Structure 1
Amino acid sequence: MKRIFLLFGALLTLSAIHADEGMWLLKELNRQSAARMQELGFTFPIDSLYSEKNASLKDAVVIFGGGCTGVAVSQEGLIFTNHHCGYDAIQKHSSVEHDYLKDGFVSQSKQEELYTEGLTVSFLQKTEDITEEVTAGVTDNMTEEERNVIIDSLSTKVLDGYKDSEFLQARIVPFYTGNKYYLVVYEIFKDVRMVFAPPSSIGKFGGDTDNWQWPRHTGDFSVFRVYANKDNQAANYSADNVPYKPKYSVPVSVKGYKDKDYAMTIGYPGSTERYLPSWGIKQMMESENIPRIEVRTIKQDIWRKAMNADDAVRIKYSVKFSRSSNYWKNSMGMNQALRRLHVLENKQDLESRLADWIAKSPSAQEKYGEVLSSLDNAYTSTMEPVKIATYFGETFNNGIELVRFANIINAIDLSDKELAAAAVRSKMVDLYKDYEPELDRQLMPALLRFYAEKVPAAYLPDIYEIIDKKFKGDYEKYTDWVFKNTKLTSLSSLASLLANSSRKDIDKDPAIALSNSVADCRLKIREELLPYYPTIDKNARKFMAALQEMEPDKAFSPDANFTQRLSYGSVGGYNPADAVSYDYYSTTQGVLEKENKDDPEFAVQQYILDNLKAAQWGEYADEDGTMHVGFLSNNDITGGNSGSPVFNGKAELIGLAFDGNWEALSGDIIFEPKLQRTISVDIRYVLYTIDKIMGCHRLIEELNIQK
């Protein structure tokens, strides 16, 4: 339910190729995990994984942008990440005249590398357990609000030590559902330049059709470079900056891999909810995923049609569509996998065991006696409000762009026109750059109508009364009137409105009036949900503590929270269904088989097809003589791991993780080792594309290649 709140303000036998569940903090690998890694084939020194004094592997794995992972591969600041992680930057530099999305981008010198404003790369400096420090004074008899006040106050004191540094970012992150707290500190580099991007026919081959699917034939990678000042420190962009020399950069292996070989990912997984109770899982499936799927289906159908018809619209909406469709398809796959794997029933069995354990112990009854019933009541009571909140958020926050623009304007203090104009420019220039009013005009009536059909009348914004009375319930006519009379369809007309109008006149603008009406409804929904948050937070924390107390010998891995984590496992295929078996790698033959010039998702330029058909792989070929494109491993990853390096046992780079598989999209809720697979692009295909297809050999020369 906390996701909805955000709308209003991602030992078994070796021969069995099993991975152990867990996204582990590198600093706190336990002996059991280290032993398992070595048993599976890890030979790199364990003490060189993480160090705050000496160069270590953790120093090479970065946060790329705001939600992806990347890896330093040279001593000149070269960063490999996924194509879809660099997609926003590639799109920003693209135009109809220079369509880097379609044609790719190749820089043949550092001077040709393109600075990308707003893009950052973050290097981890330290991770520190500060639980005792920030929970000093917290007692069990406090309310959740009282507990949070103390923790927030003590956390602020810790963070105050970093507030004056422009290039250091400190965060205090809860672990184990708020039972532990860690301080994480990053150095933030703000001069990041685009170096190389393959054409989308490689980097996004298969599009939405192949998303979350295996076999996969996508060369999902892009290349950037971090720049620093002459003292090798983080700095703002300057022409005088030089390539950054990271503390550690990883060697790149072209030796390949075999079935059952060791595989390890290090990255920044965004969010999992492995300890979510059954009632929360049901709410996620029914009140969040289903409404999200429904609304985004309508939106994406309208967007896709316009994008396929116009290259300018395709470029403008490429990033927005990709973000929307990724989570849309994930929601569908998650619900299907949760049902097929009987996750809800298995969690109910766990809760039944926990209830029996609590009932047998007076001390457990005292601490945890009301946990399960409280969670049941809170989630059950909010099933319908959360569903309404999801429809609302997907329609008015993530759907109609004009409403979102108006929401931003309403959040700005307009009393000082000069400051307001500056705020509008900083917040909205990029939004208008990628906005097509006519496309939004097509979307608005469809979403307004659908929202009215799906929620009770009490949750309709007041603007619906005007639509009924003034426009006879005709959403098309209302939309036409809004777009004809609003000043929010372009940055210039908006600037004129703000500069020449009073607050009263601004509120009369149809888009602003719609936003104000929506705001009242948002508040109503929020107030219905707000009383339940403390109950859920408190009892979720106790639920986690009870599970750990019930099974003291079990190593519980903390849920993902976008902190650096390690996952270990093995290369290997899987059997998703009776008589169906998937191999552990794919080759370029699959590109040739899938290629379809009449389908934008599978169309490939002729020069690329000719290159692949020639099959002159050179040093990048597998020992079987083919070019491997992707491969599978059973590492435990989730969103945020995109771009994560995949290492062999010597901690050499063999691939970049970019996806999970359809049959295990329940992975954020439960790890299923027989089915769950990480899909990665083979680093040899990355190098081949850079070197042979796109002719950028200078980048290959930077790398420490292991043959």
Structure 2
Amino acid sequence: MRYLFTLILGGFCLMPAYTDEGMWLLNEPPKERLKEKYGFDLTEPWLEHARLASVRFNNGGSGSFVSPTGLIITNHHIGSDALSKLSTPKRNLLKEGFYAPTMADELKCEDLELNVLQDITDVTERVNNSLKDTPPAGAAAARRSVMAAIEKESLEKTGLRSDVVTLYQGGAYHLYRYKKFTDVRLVFAPESGIAGFGGDVDNFEFPRFNLDICFFRAYENDKPTTPKHFLKFSPDGPKEGDLVFVTGHPGTTNRLETTAKLEHRRDQTLPYTLARLRAMEAALLQYSERGPEQRRQASTDLHRVANARKAFSGQYQGLLDSATLRTKNTAEYNLSVTAAKLPEGKEMNDKYLKAIATVREVQAVYKSIEKEHNLIETSTAFSSPLFSIARTIVRLVEEQPKSNGERLREYRDSNLESLKLELFSPAPIYADLERAKLTASLTFLAEQLSVNHPVVKVALEGASPAKAADELMKTKLFDVAERKKLLEGGKEALRKSDDPMILLALILDTHARAVRKKFEEQVEEPERQAYGELAKVRFAVLGRTVAPDATLTLRLAYGVVKGYEAEGKQIPYATTFGGLFEKADRQEHKEPFDLPKRWLDGQSKVDPAAPFNFASTADTIGGNSGSPVLNRAGEFIGINFDRNRHGLVRNFVYTDVQARHISVHSKGILEALKLYDCPALLKELGK
């Protein structure tokens, strides 16, 4: 794969780009590129239709409306969290699947929030103006304050969820307004055996054979919502060579980061991340072996962790190839040389080189606190839902009395409703699974920080991780009423509480806030200012021909349906139903290639030549799971669910030589639904 990295990274390419690279902002779409390369006129009505039909799931996935009565399609693995929470020991929706023949039979998801983007406003000037005459030490607080003010004004004016999003790592700021849906109900899910056929073995591989779909419905005032914009289901779907579009919410890319930042990721961030994921995966696998009920309880977490481990492993492999960083270094030099030739070139280039140096210097500071920050402050701290609940209560009590602009970002007014939806979710938390995750997390904490670290001493209190976890499991936070009681009781209730999880959150909060403050002021803020300077140079040299890195916000990608060559073989653009059954036979129907009974019994009912999964060159990443794939007419022709292993390097560099995104074909979806007794669903999809 070495030749993949000889490509100039898209973020620093100094010539017009003619590849399909780009996760484009919908308010800055690649109209000229599409017209020049594909003869396609990307119109504002087309973009509005795609935007208002696209949906973001609060667990980091994407989806889309596909009917005028609020029907939404996403991936099974995005819906798995809801499926798991709706399951019981006697009814395993993940394994067995689900279908609601009528709307009255649909199952309400208690803590699922969906967002539909209504509009985008550029607020860069206002954010940057708020920082004028502000000392560097106060810039982080000033920026946080103005962003919170913009969001609060927007929320009060429109009633819409309002988020100020940082783009180009600090080069621009846009206000995104979303319509929220919190009454969401499950309509259909296939069995996990076909949704995730091939399991971890086939994850990030192609050819693939997955019915990775799940249907939900959004409600308003106890009635199905009636979206004006939804994607018409194409019965034919795409064929090889077709131009396709993907609208979704890619999570994170690192293409505009400097060489020094990527070196830090290679040497510090990724090794730590992989160690954490492997430790948790081992704990979840061990727990799953206790019995079928334990396997059911752990299945969603295990899939998420295993998927992340494989994805980060691919990223690490990409950065271990020295050609990647050599190419990045060369690109930085070339941009500097080109900038120096501009009218204000010397001053601009001096600032550019200073910014590059600043990012490099900051990495030394980050190295000194990164493990503490990740282990104590971030959302992965203790990998425990109960600890997250305890911390949220402790911090809500502390943050809410403050002015909106002084609060930690996640406790700003515009996010409180979503935060409380999750905090007061009645979804089950399984005590034995929680104990296993806590034990693994506390063990990893001690391994990484040493037993003499003050946080480890507080967390363990001289006990083994298993015994410490047993003590923490005496918490009452399983009960939603107890959570509400503590929050409503405020500081007095927390002061009197003897709940072990609350006590741990209280004791750790001072240390966690201190390491967060150091990270924000000595790492995040200097980097943001430096990247802001780098963005100015990039804009001066390249204009807006380079898309910003992914930020879990709605983007538009495009490409062509296309196979590729690998290991001396030509891989076709699509798989078929016949290929699915052939592979299951070849693997002797052993897990994870064991098909559900309905598929074995119904093999004669489906067309063996019908397309199942397909690949294209469109630029996608994690977070695009569930993204609709559209044709030129804006119709639904597939649903993205994965990349192949050659595409894992796309976090850092785009390539279309072998890298592909993988989707379920719309014709394949309709063909597969023949095996399910779901006439109402097929009718709603126009079949």
Provide TM-score, normalisation by structure 1: 0.81
Structure 1 pair 543–203 and aligned structure 2 pair: CA distance change class (3 A)? same
Q: 1:264-413 maps to which residues of 2 (within 5 A)? A: 264-340=245-321, 342-357=323-338, 361-392=345-376, 397-399=381-383, 403-404=387-388, 406-408=390-392, 410-411=394-395, 413=397
Stretch moving more, 92-101 or 153-162: 153-162
Deviations 1:446-498 (A, max 9, x none): 54344333335664525279755xx5xx5555555x368x3458549978997
1:695 corresponds to which of 653, 677, 683: 677
Do structure 1's residue 74 and structure 2's residue 57 form an aligned pair? no
Structure 1 residue identity aligned to 2:186: M
Q: Which residue of 1 aligns with 2:524?
A: 533
The Cα of 1:148 is off from its aligned counterpart by 5.5
Q: Partner residue of 1:219?
A: 211
Measured at CA, do residues 695 and 514 of structure 1 come closer, stay the same or move farther in structure 2, by a change above 3 Å? same
Q: Which of 549, 559, 583 does residue 549 from structure 2 map onto?
A: 559
Aligned counterpart, 2:22: 22
Change over 3 Å in CA distance of 1:335–1:393 after alignment to 2: farther
1:452 aligns with 2:435: no
1:232-264: CA deviation from partner (whole Å, max 9, x where unpaired): xxx4xx3xx2x3221122222222433222111
Question: What does the per-residue CA deviation read over 1:665-702, in whole Å, with 9 as the maximum and x for residues that have no partner?
Answer: 12122212213211101112222232x11110212212
SS for the counterpart of 2:546 is coil
Q: Which amino acid aligns with 1:83?
A: H
User: Residues of 2 paired with 1:553 and 1:424: CA distance?
Assistant: 38
Which one of the candidate residues 457, 461, 475 is aligned to 1:463?
A: 457
1:208 match:
200
Give 1:571's aligned amino acid: V
Tell me, yes or no, if the aligned pair for 1:267 and 1:645 is still in contact at 8 Å.
yes
Work out the CA distance in 1 between the residues paired with 2:46 and 2:480.
Answer: 52
Opposite residue 276 of structure 2, the aligned amino acid is: V
Partner SS state of residue 253, structure 2: coil
* Superposed CA offset, 1:162-194 (max 9, x none): 434785222222322322222222222232221
CA distance in structure 1 between the aligned counterparts of 2:324 and 2:311, rounded to whole angstroms: 16
Q: Distance in 2 between matches of 1:47 and 1:640?
A: 25
Answering whether residue 170 of structure 2 is matched by residue 168 of structure 1, we say no
Q: Which residue of 2 aligns with 1:246?
A: 227
Q: Which moved more, 1:581-590 or 1:97-106?
A: 581-590
SS at match of 2:227: coil
Whether the 8 Å contact between 1:395 and 1:448 is mirrored in structure 2 is: no
- CA distance in structure 2 between the aligned counterparts of 1:148 and 1:447, rounded to whole angstroms: 31
Alpha-carbon distance in structure 2 between the residues aligned to 1:35 and 1:462: 58
- Find the partner of 2:627 among 638, 644, 657: 644
* Worse-matched range after superposition: 298-307 or 658-667: 298-307
Deviation string for 1:413-467 (max 9, x for gaps)? 49xxxxxxxx999766657722223x44445455434433333566452527975
1:342 aligned counterpart, secondary structure? helix
State the Cα distance separating 1:111 from its structure 2 match: 1.7
Q: What does residue 100 of structure 1 align with?
A: 93
User: In the alignment, what sits opposite 1:579?
Assistant: 568
Distance 2:169 2:445 in 1: 34
Counterpart CA distance in 1 for 2:24 and 2:434 is 43
**Cα distance in 2 between the residues matched to 1:654 and 1:424:** 34
Change in CA separation of 1:166 and 1:136 when aligned onto 2, cut-off 3 Å: closer
Q: 1:535–1:130: structure 2 CA closer, same or farther, 3 Å change rule?
A: closer
Aligned positions of 1:147-162 closer than 5 A: 155-156=147-148, 158-162=150-154
Q: Which residue of 1 aligns with 2:411?
A: none
- Decide whether aligned partners of structure 1 residues 50 and 537 sit closer, same or farther in structure 2, where only a CA change above 3 A counts: same
The CA deviation at 1:277 is: 0.8
CA distance in 2, matches of 1:296, 1:248: 40
Secondary structure of the equivalent of 2:326?
Answer: helix
Contact 1:287 1:384 in 2 (8 A): no
Structure-2 separation of matches of 1:495 and 1:671: 46
Is the partner of 2:364 in helix, strand or coil? helix
Q: Quick one: distance in 2 between partners of 1:644 and 1:363?
A: 43
Q: CA 1:462–1:318 in structure 2 vs 1: closer, same or farther (change >3 Å)?
A: closer
Tell me if structure 2 keeps the 8 A contact 1:641–1:657: yes
**Aligned positions, number:** 643
Could you tell me how far apart the structure 2 residues matched to 1:580 and 1:388 are? 47
Q: Name the SS for the 1:62 alignment partner.
A: strand
Question: In 1, distance between residues paired with 2:354 and 2:204?
Answer: 40
Partner secondary structure for residue 666 of structure 1? helix
Aligned to 1:188: 180
Contact 1:81–1:644 (8 Å) recurs in 2: yes
- 2:46 counterpart of 1:49: yes
Aligned partners of 1:554, 1:605: CA distance in 2, in Å? 49
Q: Is residue 280–residue 437 contact of structure 2 (8 Å, CA) maintained in 1? A: yes
Q: Which residue of 2 aligns with 1:14?
A: none
Deviation at 1:542, TM superposition (A): 1.1
Task: Among all aligned residue pairs of Structure 1 and Structure 2, give the percentage whose two residues are the same amino acid.
Answer: 26
Shift of 1:317: 2.8
Rate the CA distance shift 1:218–1:164 in 2: closer, same or farther, 3 A. Answer: same
Q: Which amino acid letter does the alignment assign opposite residue 698 of structure 1?
A: A
1:145: how far off?
5.5
Q: Does 1:628 align with 2:623?
A: no
Aligned partners of 1:643 and 1:318: how far apart in 2?
19
Q: Structure 1 residues 314, 552: CA separation in 2 closer, same or farther (over 3 Å shift)?
A: same
Cα contact 1:213–1:662 (8 A) shared by 2: yes
Deviation at 1:387, TM superposition (A): 3.8
2 CA distance for matches of 1:601 and 1:520? 46
- Give the secondary-structure state (helix, strand or coil) at the position aligned to 1:270: coil
1:673 aligns with 2:656: yes
| Offset, 1:537 | 1.2
Distance 1:32 1:686, change over 3 A: same
| 1:488–1:494 CA contact under 8 A, matched in 2 | yes
Aligned position for 2:402: none
Match of 1:436 in 2: 431
Partner of 1:34: 34
Distance 1:703 1:18, change over 3 A: farther
Partners in 1 of 2:584 and 2:226 — Cα distance? 41
- Which secondary structure does the structure 1 equivalent of 2:317 belong to? helix
- Within 2, Cα distance between the matches of 1:425 and 1:532? 30
Q: What is the SS of the residue equivalent to 1:301? A: helix
Letter in 2 for 1:321: L
Task: Return the index of the structure with the highest Cα Rg.
Answer: 1
- Contact 2:647 2:661 survives alignment (8 Å): no
* SS of match in other structure, 1:101: helix
Deviation for aligned residue 1:522: 3.3
Residue matched to 1:3: none
The verdict on how the C-alpha distance between 1:272 and 1:145 changes in structure 2, with shifts beyond 3 A counting, is: farther
Q: Evaluate the alpha carbon distance shift between residue 565 and residue 528 of structure 1 in structure 2; reply closer, same or farther with a 3 A threshold.
A: closer
Report how far residue 412 of structure 1 moved.
6.0
Q: What is the CA–CA distance in structure 1 between the aligned matches of 2:308 and 2:669, rounded to whole Å? A: 26
Partner residue, 1:232: none
Check if 1:545 corresponds to 2:536: yes
Distance of aligned partners of 1:346 and 1:492 in 2 relative to their CA distance in 1, 3 Å threshold: closer
Equivalent pair of 1:292/1:394 in contact (CA under 8 Å) = no
Structure-2 separation of matches of 1:342 and 1:528? 33
Aligned in 2, Cα 1:357/1:209: closer, same or farther, shift over 3 Å? same
**Structure 1 counterpart SS, 2:273:** helix
Q: Would the alpha carbon gap of residues 463 and 513 (structure 1) be closer, same or farther in structure 2, given more than 3 Å must change? A: farther
Of 168-177 and 693-702, more deviation after overlay is shown by 168-177
After TM superposition, give the deviation of residue 213 of structure 1 in Å: 1.9
Local SS of the residue matching 1:286: helix
Aligned partner of 1:607 among 571, 590, 598:
598
Task: State the Cα deviation string for residues 191-217 of structure 1 (Å, max 9, x = none).
Answer: 222111111112222233322222221
Q: How far apart are residue 391 of structure 1 and its match?
A: 4.9
Q: Which amino acid aligns with 2:646?
A: E
Call closer, same or farther: CA 1:582–1:393 in 2, change over 3 Å.
farther
